[in-house]
Every structure is written in C-alpha cells, then in structure tokens.
C-alpha cells in the first residue's frame, strides 16, 4: 500500500512539472514584440469601435418609433434604455430633437474617451452649427433664427429695465442722481428730547452720519456706457452697450457702439453743458495756450 502511494505521488509530481513546462512554453509562444502588440491593439480597438457603432445604430433604431431619423422628447421618454438627460447632452444645435448623427457621435466620443482612453474632439464643435432637422418643431428651425429671437427679447428687456428700474425720475436719461445712495459713514452721540411717562427728558442717542454717493453699478455704467462723455447715459447708449455685450456672448459679429455714439453732441440736460457754457475759469488765463488761442 505504501509503494502504491509513492508511485501515485511521483506520477502527480511528474504531471505537474510537465504542465508547468507546457504553460511556460505556450506563454513564450504567445508573447509578442512591441510592433506586433501595437498592431494587435489597434485591430482590437478598431473592432471594438465598429461593434460600438453598430450597437448605437441599433439602439437608435429601436427608440425611433416613427422612423423619421430623429428622437423627440416623447420617444426618449418611452424608451426604457434612455433618459431625458440625453436631450440636453446630445442636442448640439438646439432644435429640440436628437438626430442619428448627434446620437452616434456623442456615444462614440464617450466610448473613445472613457473606455479606450483615446483622444477625441467633442462633437459639439462641428455639430452645433448644423441646421435644424426636418422633424424638429417649426419654431426651432435654425440656429440663426434662434439668435435673432434672443436678441429681440433682450432688447425688449433692456428697454423695460431702463424705464422701470433705473430711470427713477422718469426724464429719459441716467445721471448720478439716479444712482445716488445713502451710506452710513460713522456714528455720533447727540442729545435729543425724548417723551417719557414723567414728561420730556433730554437723553444721549447714537445717531448715524450718512453720506450720499453713487452706487457701484451706477459708477461702472457711467464709466462704460457714457460714450460721448457728457456725464449722462441716454436710453440709446444703455441699450447699445448691453446689446453689444450680449452679441459677443452669443458669438454674433458686432461693431462697438463707441464708433457711432462717441461723436454725438451732448445731451441738453447734461451737467457738463452748463459747466462749459459758464465760460473760462480764472485760472485758465494763466494757461499760455489758452491765451494765444483767443
């Protein structure tokens, strides 16, 4: 019985040694040089990208029930494998539908970057300028028309805010008086008469000392939107300045309003007008250039 056990143990050891040798030999046979590994990796990635594109096309075809080549909000909501966030992340041209090109491009970009670790350009840079899909609602037809609507709405909002919130005295212009606010500079002690249950009594009270100054918003507006430097911001200057900034934000070409508004004459109610009309000051006669120009 002991002899059989020794033979069995020997056979097992020999078998284990043979299997280890074969495994090492097969590993050496499968080991590739760097060039072969690069080619194999490239082929594998290409095959994975092809399969991923096929999966995306199939999932889009399943979700697109009316076969119009675009996914609407209702179709995305009915599809169990999709969420409504898809409309916000893949609708690059903002036409309220997700076309097949947008869906596949976004899916392939995410797969390349997150799964394969490859570098890829975001599809929004080349798909945001696309026209609207034929299946899109009529009110979201093109990007240009959407920007025109935004500019029109912005102009109405600016006129409304100028007349309702900024122009306090309703004279059609913005001056320093419209942006004047009272600020507490310090406190002082002052004796005042106070009526009590026993009669009038003189007590000490802490009274704030205020100073009237221009607000930060008003100072910035007077510095940037007053193009002809008459210390008055008219409605035209206010709207032109903010529309120019909004056009730059939308990516629309715009000319600076300083070109056509800096040469305008001073407003009739400008405080600078009365200062100029008052004539030269006493110290201007000591200026040589001023004396010889008379």
Phi, psi of 135 (to 5 degrees): -85, 0
Residue 162's pLDDT is: 92
Question: For residue 246, what are the contacts with CB-CB under 8 A and spacing of at least 6?
Answer: 150, 151, 154
In this prediction the pTM is 0.45
Phi, psi of 201 (to 5 degrees): -140, 140
Residue 31's pLDDT is: 60
Q: Which CATH architecture has domain 34-140?
A: Orthogonal Bundle (1.10)
Residue 287's pLDDT is: 52
What does the domain layout of the chain look like in residue ranges?
34-140, 147-269
CB 216, CB 230: distance < 8 Å: no
Task: Report how far residue 265's alpha carbon sits from residue 272's, in angstroms, rounded to the nearest whole number.
Answer: 12
Task: Report how far residue 245's alpha carbon sits from residue 243's, in angstroms, rounded to the nearest whole number.
Answer: 5
Residue 232's pLDDT is: 92
DSSP codes of every residue in the chain: -HHHHHHHHHHHHHHHHHHHHHHHHHHHHH---HHHHHHHHHHHHHHHHHHHHHHHHHHHHHH-SS-SSEE-HHHHHH-TT--THHHHHH-TT-SSSEEHHHHHHHHHHHIIIIII------THHHHTTPPPPTTS-GGG--HHHHHHHHHHHHHHHHHHHIIIII-SS-SSEE-GGGGEEEEEEEEEEEEEEEEETTEEEEEEEEEEEEEEEE-HHHHHHHHHS-TT-SS-EEHHHHHHHHHHHHHHHHT-----THHHHTTSPPPTT-HHHHHHHT---GGGGG-HHHHHT-
240-245-249-253 Cα dihedral, nearest 10 degrees = 60
Q: How many CA atoms lie within 13 A of 77 on its CB side?
A: 3
Task: Report how far residue 218's alpha carbon sits from residue 175's, in angstroms, rounded to the nearest whole number.
Answer: 9
Question: For residue 31, what are the contacts with CB-CB under 8 A and spacing of at least 6?
Answer: none
Give me the count of residues in the chain.
294
- Render each residue's pLDDT in the chain as its tens digit; 294 residues: 444 565 566 556 556 555 555 444 444 444 656 767 777 788 888 899 999 999 999 999 999 989 999 998 889 888 888 888 888 888 888 888 899 999 999 999 999 999 888 889 999 888 888 877 888 876 554 567 778 888 999 999 999 999 888 988 888 899 888 888 888 889 999 998 988 888 899 989 999 998 888 888 888 999 999 999 888 999 999 999 999 999 998 888 889 999 889 888 888 888 876 554 445 555 555 554 444 444
Residue 275's pLDDT is: 54
Residue 12's pLDDT is: 63
Residue 95's pLDDT is: 82
CA-CA-CA-CA torsion sign (27, 28, 34, 35): negative
CB 72, CB 132: distance < 8 Å: no
Task: Report how far residue 221's alpha carbon sits from residue 231's, in angstroms, rounded to the nearest whole number.
Answer: 11
């Amino acid at each position: 019985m002991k002899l059989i056990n020794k033979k069995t143990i020997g056979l097992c050891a020999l078998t284990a040694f043979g299997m280890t040798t074969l495994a090492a030999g097969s590993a050496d046979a499968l080991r590739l040089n760097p060039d072969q590994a690069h080619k194999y990796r490239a082929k594998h990635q290409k095959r994975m990208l092809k399969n991923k594109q096929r999966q995306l096309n199939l999932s889009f075809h399943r979700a697109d029930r009316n076969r119009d080549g675009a996914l609407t909000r209702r179709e995305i909501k009915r599809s169990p494998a999709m969420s409504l966030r898809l409309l916000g992340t893949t609708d690059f041209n903002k036409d309220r539908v997700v076309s097949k090109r947008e869906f596949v491009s976004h899916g392939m970009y995410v797969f390349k970057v997150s799964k394969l670790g490859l570098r890829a350009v975001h599809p929004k840079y080349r798909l945001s300028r696309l026209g609207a899909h034929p299946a899109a609602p009529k009110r979201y037809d093109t990007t240009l028309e959407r920007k025109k609507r935004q500019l029109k709405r912005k102009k109405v909002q600016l006129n409304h805010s100028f007349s309702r919130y900024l122009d306090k005295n309703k004279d059609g212009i913005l001056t320093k008086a419209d942006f004047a606010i009272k600020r507490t500079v310090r406190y002082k002690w002052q004796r005042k008469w106070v009526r009590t249950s026993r009669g009038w009594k003189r007590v000490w009270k802490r009274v704030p000392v205020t100073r009237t100054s221009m607000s930060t918003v008003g100072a910035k507006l007077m510095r940037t939107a007053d193009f002809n430097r008459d210390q008055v911001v008219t409605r035209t200057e206010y709207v032109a300045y903010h529309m120019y900034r909004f056009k730059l934000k939308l990516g629309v070409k715009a000319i600076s309003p300083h070109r056509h508004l800096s040469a305008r004459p001073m407003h009739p109610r400008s405080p600078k007008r009365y200062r100029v009309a008052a004539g030269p000051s006493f110290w201007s006669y000591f200026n040589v250039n001023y004396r010889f120009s008379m």
